[in-house]
Structure 1
Amino acid sequence: MEDSQPGTTQSSTVFEETQNTTVVAYPAPPPPRSVLRLALYPVTLKFEEVVYKVKKGGSGGWMIGGGARGKEEKTILNGITGMVCPGEILAMLGPSGSGKTTLLTALGGRLPTRSSGKQLLSGKISYNGQPFSGSIKRRTGFVAQDDVLYPHLTVRETLVFAALLRLPSTLSPLEKREHAERVIEELGLRRCRNSMIGGPLLRGISGGEKKRVSIGQEMLLDPSLLLLDEPTSGLDSTTAQRILRTVKRLASGGRTVVTTIHQPSSRLYHMFDKLVLLSSDGYPIYHGPASVAMDYFSSIGFPTSVTVNPADLLLDLANGIAPESIYSRDEGEFEGGTEEEHKSVREALISAYDRNIATRLKTQLCNLDVNNYGGYAKEASSFAGKMEQWNTSWWEQFKVLLRRGLKERRHEAFNRLRIFQVVSVATLAGLLWWHTPTSHIQDRIALLFFFSVFWGFFPLYNAVFTFPQERSMLIKERSSGMYRLSSYFLARTAGDLPMELALPTAFVFIIYWMGGLKPDPATFILSLLVLLYSVLVSQSLGLAIGAILMDVKQATTLASVTTLVFLIAGGYYVQQIPPFIVWFKYLSYSYYCFKLLLGVQFGEDDYYECSKGVMCRVVDFPTVKSVGLNHLWIDVCIMALMLLGYRLLAYLALHRVQPR
């Protein structure tokens, strides 16, 4: 019997292998050349007896690992075994909840293996006979079901920035850009290359084009192993076929492709080389060539006498619904059978799998020698030893991330609404405090407190949203090893500085002179610097709250409570705070900002007209007296500690957002 090539195997030949226990290797033939260069290190992927378990939490939801003792345990994957070679497409088919995405995530090395001392993932997954490693991770492309893309970047910008981050430093920036352009051409994205990606509130490219952009991000590295989770989900039949045709062409270059798919059309189904079918409870019921799956199920007692989409029949079987129970009754009378009937069908399929496929498959995996594939394993091992941990330097990552962040948020940061908000508040406040005379010391102090409060809270609420909104993007890109967390953190926070500092500067320029504050240039500059200093501290606290909670609603609630406490303890509303709670004000950066602004505006020897013809010292005014005008440099140092401490806390909190 002749060995057959993946994707072109004759049905009769493969079916003979299914019926018998003859071990037949599936060597990867020399793939035809395509527009993209050939994969240099093809990967043969094997997975044996893969089992994955989770525990049920007290609220009824399933959670990974730990939890209270005695909670119910559920097995998501029940001993899945399979293999896929270079040049092949392996499709994982099954009903919702069967564990397709979990298995794909495990193959990509993105599932936790242990939690609370318990092993979650068991079994053996090997890549050219080697376990998962950093070098394999960098040769693996993972396309998630949801397209996680920046909405305000164009297609070209998205792929160019990804190329600058992911391609090795041995290539020049120009070569990286040219490579991104070649990927755009190969994926048929030339027509929309200058169009924005778009999002829920922004019109952009189509769903099929977004999916191709997601694939393109992974294709930049020319991966040896490409994993796709539901690449055709939500797409019409024509677009789905175009996507899968692209994937087929990529596989023909010697890549190993594994994809999950929910309910493919018959046209899509016949494009797969191999198929893994999972039952609704996570057991394997078929592994082999997709072209003979129908013949296999007919041979074990589940034939169909009508023409039907193979995927529809397979999904019915995976749910425990036998073909004759569907087509032997009128459509109006069929109710899908009882749960006992479904369970009986599934047990029969699992038993047939163990009897006809499992033994042959395990024998085949044991006898497979990856050295038969042109020494790929040896080359890949040598290549892994030469790979650096990061493709680019820290400084290059920082520069690219900063440029990308400025481009992405140029519409958000400098939008007309925020500018109008700040300018209108400054103008209204300037009119309310219009040329406040020096004798109205209460009003002048109130204006300074308004400075500290408005710019103590406005940046905080903006910063709270920063990391929760980018959580999915951070997980995706760090899982791909695109950059260091430190370079991302500094680039992300530095990219917000232009707008965070420009708006308060414009605010001070408007309200300072309208409010009649001390018209000395040095005093004006010091007041501006104090305010900008407070803005940075406020932003730091917002970043820390957002990074710790990583949930917009919870972070906003905590920020509201925090700002309320800081407002009350800021030294303006309450001067005689009870001793047991007076320490609250020392936690408030608004208190220190207010004190510094008072220290800049007033001196120890300043006087004001407290009554007609009577001059009083400013330092004796109740509000100023309670806050004090001494030890201002200590207050500057305390705010510096807050600035660094909050940002360090935010950075450490981001480490909990583990890449998958």
Structure 2
Amino acid sequence: MKKQGAKEKLRRLVAPLLGVAGQGGSSLAFKAFTSIRPRISLRFEGIGVTLRDGTVILDSVNGHFSHSKVVAIMGPSGAGKSTLLYALMGTARYGATRGRLWINGREMRLARLRRILGYVPQDDIVHEDLTVRENLSYSAKLRCMATEGRAYLSDVVDDVIELLGLRHVQHSVVGSVEKRGMWVSCCSGGQRKRVNIGLELVARPSVLFMDEPTSGLDATAATDILASLRRMADLGMNIVTVIHQPRYSVFSLFHEVLLLGKAGRTAFQGASSAALPYFVSIGFELPSNENPADFFLDIVSGCVPCHANPDFKPEVGPFCLFAEFQIVHPEKSL
């Protein structure tokens, strides 16, 4: 009974928005989304996280995330990809955090801008007993300004539903893995993942951090989501995504990539299209029919020989990946 009461309370909260919900066609023209303001660019230096037992998770990571771009953070397991997001947000409370952060050129903590910061966790946080539209409407009502009218918020929800390709399931219950086999109208796992992303998009954040939003999705669904994120970047949103072993067609949709090696050190940051030429220039050869994104991860894991230096080791020595990147790109290693 208690759970049923909570469910009804949620429904009453979002009901006014549902009453004026747009029922238009499949046009991709936005109703409410306009240019993202303010536009936020981040620059950081020396970001590090050390656990209480002395284990270093991140070691002096430098980089920048610019507005109007979708950036991929890649690296092998344990490289500190998610920890970097937590450190920048000020939520890495499980260890000692160090480093400096500039927001549009002004040094400050990102936590001060929490209202314009979005975060999509790896695990879904949807209300499984509500429909897709109810979930998004509830989030819009909680996250948006009180002065924004219900008609406008409904248009925002419509925009997100259209953007994420959820129009045909907007009135379906999101459900869960357990309920999916029992309810005919339950959403699939991929649709549920899109709803999870939509919960943040309705808030129209200036900066959106995402932790493996495409995990568990097939390549086509992952490509669709990245294409949607690029549309938001075109409006000025700064989108940073942790991603694990994407196919190359997905990898190519990112504007830039930050590649972390073991112990959380920067092995490369730059345009996604520049990653392969960079590694070739320092002595690595891409095997035939190899996914370049997998190739990069193999390099930082020490699984690929360097033809220019047979004694190459990714983490130590004068020709380690981290030292080499500082030599080739000193402006990105300050």
C-alpha change, 1:265 and 1:167, in structure 2 (3 Å) is same
Q: Is the 8 A contact 1:108 1:142 kept in 2?
A: no
Q: Is the 8 A contact 2:313 2:320 kept in 1?
A: no
- Classify the secondary structure of the residue corresponding to 1:301: coil
Instruction: Describe how 1:270-281 pairs up with structure 2 within 5 A.
Output: 270-281=252-263
In the other structure, the counterpart of 2:18 is: none
Distance in 2, matches of 1:352 and 1:342, equals 10
In the other structure, the counterpart of 2:14 is: none
Q: What is the CA-CA distance between 1:262 and the residue it aligns to?
A: 0.8
C-alpha change, 1:353 and 1:133, in structure 2 (3 Å) is closer
Distance in 1, matches of 2:319 and 2:196, equals 39
Aligned counterpart for 2:295 among listed residues 313, 319, 331: 313
Opposite residue 96 of structure 2, the aligned amino acid is: L
In the other structure, the counterpart of 1:82 is: 63
Aligned counterpart for 1:39 among listed residues 33, 36, 39: 36
Q: What is the CA-CA distance between 1:345 and the residue it aligns to?
A: 8.3
Aligned counterpart for 1:101 among listed residues 82, 99, 117: 82
The answer to whether structure 1 residue 129 and structure 2 residue 105 are counterparts is yes
Distance in 2, matches of 1:297 and 1:146, equals 33
Distance in 2, matches of 1:110 and 1:190, equals 35
Q: What is the CA-CA distance between 1:160 and the residue it aligns to?
A: 0.9
Distance in 2, matches of 1:346 and 1:251, equals 38
The answer to whether structure 1 residue 155 and structure 2 residue 132 are counterparts is yes
Q: Is the 8 A contact 2:47 2:60 kept in 1?
A: yes
Instruction: Describe how 1:340-379 pairs up with structure 2 within 5 A.
Output: 348-357=320-329, 359-362=330-333
In the other structure, the counterpart of 1:215 is: 197
Opposite residue 301 of structure 1, the aligned amino acid is: G
Aligned counterpart for 2:51 among listed residues 48, 54, 59: 54
Distance in 2, matches of 1:205 and 1:172, equals 29
Instruction: Describe how 1:503-542 pairs up with structure 2 within 5 A.
Output: none
Distance in 2, matches of 1:155 and 1:120, equals 39
Instruction: Describe how 1:436-585 pairs up with structure 2 within 5 A.
Output: none
Distance in 2, matches of 1:304 and 1:182, equals 41
C-alpha change, 1:52 and 1:274, in structure 2 (3 Å) is same
Q: Which runs of 5+ in 2 are unaligned?
A: 1-27, 181-185
Identity over aligned pairs, percent = 35
Distance in 1, matches of 2:104 and 2:305, equals 39
Q: Which runs of 5+ in 1 are unaligned?
A: 1-32, 57-72, 326-337, 364-660
Aligned residues between the structures:
297
Q: What is the CA-CA distance between 1:176 and the residue it aligns to?
A: 2.4
Q: What is the CA-CA distance between 1:344 and the residue it aligns to?
A: 5.5
In the other structure, the counterpart of 1:631 is: none
Q: What does the per-residue CA deviation read over 1:498-542, in whole Å, with 9 as the maximum and x for residues that have no partner?
A: xxxxxxxxxxxxxxxxxxxxxxxxxxxxxxxxxxxxxxxxxxxxx
Structure showing the higher strand proportion among its residues: 2
C-alpha change, 1:342 and 1:39, in structure 2 (3 Å) is closer
Give the RMSD, CA atoms, in angstroms. 2.5
In the other structure, the counterpart of 1:511 is: none
C-alpha change, 1:152 and 1:305, in structure 2 (3 Å) is closer
In the other structure, the counterpart of 1:243 is: 225
- Classify the secondary structure of the residue corresponding to 2:40: coil
Distance in 1, matches of 2:66 and 2:29, equals 18
- Classify the secondary structure of the residue corresponding to 1:165: helix
Q: What does the per-residue CA deviation read over 1:308-364, in whole Å, with 9 as the maximum and x for residues that have no partner?
A: 211111000111122469xxxxxxxxxxxx9x966568962122122222x21156x
- Classify the secondary structure of the residue corresponding to 1:120: strand
Distance in 2, matches of 1:264 and 1:345, equals 30
Q: Which runs of 4+ in 1 moved over 4 A?
A: 340-347
